Amino acid sequence: MTPIVRLALEEDIGSGDVTTAACVPEFQAASGRFVGREPLIVAGLELLTELYDRVHLRKRGGDACAEGEIIAEVSGRARTLLERERVALNFLQRLSGVATVARRFAEAVAGTNCQVLDTRKTTPGMRHLEKMAARAGGVTNHRMGLFDAVLIKNNHIAAAGGVRNAIERARTCGFPIEIEVRSREELREALECGAAHLLLDNLTPEEAADWVREIAGRAKVELSGGITLDNVRAYAETGADFVSSGAITHSARAVDISFRLELA
Domains of the chain with CATH codes = 3-103+252-263 (3.90.1170.20), 106-250 (3.20.20.70)
pLDDT single digits (tens) 163-187: 999 999 999 998 889 999 999 999 9
Burial class from Cβ neighbours inside 10 Å (0-12, 13-18, 19+) for residue 224 reads buried
pLDDT single digits (tens) 101-148: 999 999 999 999 999 999 999 999 999 999 999 999 999 999 999 999
Beta-bridge mates of residue 164: none
Sign of CA pseudo-dihedral 172, 177, 183, 187: positive
pLDDT single digits (tens) 57-101: 999 999 999 999 999 999 999 999 999 999 999 999 999 999 999
Residues serving a catalytic function are 86, 121, 153, 180, 201
Q: What are phi and psi of 222, to 5 degrees?
A: -115, 135
d(CA 186, CA 169): 16
Burial class from Cβ neighbours inside 10 Å (0-12, 13-18, 19+) for residue 237 reads middle
Q: Which amino acid is at 223?
A: L
d(CA 83, CA 263): 15
d(CA 106, CA 242): 12
Whether 199 and 178 have beta carbons less than 8 Å apart is answered as yes
